[in-house]
Amino acid sequence: MLFPVTQVGSWPRSPELLAALREHRTGRIGRTEFEKFADEEVRRCISLQHEAGVDIVVDGELRRDNFYSFITDKVEGTELMSLADMLDTVDDKAAFEEMLQTLDAPAFAIRNPTCTGRLQRREPLAVNELKFLRSLTDRPVKVTLPGPYLLTRAMWVTSFTKSVYGDKPVMADDIVQLLRDELQDLVAENVEFVQFDEPVLTEVVHSGTDKRRTFM
């Protein structure tokens, strides 16, 4: 296999799955019922990858509300906040509002995992996703996780986090540790590939001396 094919990015969610995710978030359906919806979506996702001849199979991140904020369900010391909730807590409101304009989405629609306490895994981040994925394919599989720089930058909100960790590098140490623990658990389950997503690094590389933030 000269150039193995895999997917990068989240798989599109069906209207039914999006509705189930909203109902789960608002407490109208329980986790077990939501997982039934998600299981069917993942089965369809994998079937389409098989049909297309994809070499390294993923589950499409279909159980996650987005590719990094899902950790609030798995990690103690986190809270999911909308950017509208955070507006009153930031020091430079003008710069924050400029970032929202760049994101081109209403502040109430974007939710960010915020560190409000000491960070540690409440449960594995993706091991159960891996086990279900593995049960549906005999091809190599890939698990995706948010990277440590992304999480450190996104989760540090001074008014909520500084009283817990004092400074950002200390919090980053705990983020690296929980990701390391997760990676070791995935390796123990014989995962072939783990992809750490760091899209915010593109801003760091390309913005130069421009300090504007276009990503949390």
DSSP string of 23-69, one letter each residue: HHHTTSS-HHHHHHHHHHHHHHHHHHHHHHT-SBB--TTTTSSSTTG
Mean pLDDT, all residues of the chain: 87
How far is Cα of residue 29 from the mean position of the Cα atoms in its chain? 22
Query: What's the burial of 37, exposed, middle or buried (CB within 10 Å: 0-12/13-18/19+)?
Result: buried
Hey, what CATH topology would domain 15-207 get?
Answer: TIM Barrel (3.20.20)
Residues of the chain with pLDDT under 50: 104-105, 107-108, 214-216
Length of the chain: 216
Q: What is the pLDDT of residue 104?
A: 47
pTM (2 d.p.): 0.84
| Contact (CB, 8 A) for 82 and 109 | yes
Q: What is the pLDDT of residue 174?
A: 98
Query: What's the burial of 215, exposed, middle or buried (CB within 10 Å: 0-12/13-18/19+)?
Result: middle
Q: What is the pLDDT of residue 186?
A: 98
Beta bridge partners of 143: 194
Burial 140-164 (b: 16+ CB within 10 A, else e): ebbbbbbbbbbbbbbbbbeebbeee
Domain residue spans in the chain? 15-207
First-to-last CA distance in the chain?
Answer: 38
Q: What is the pLDDT of residue 107?
A: 47
Q: What is the pLDDT of residue 111?
A: 74
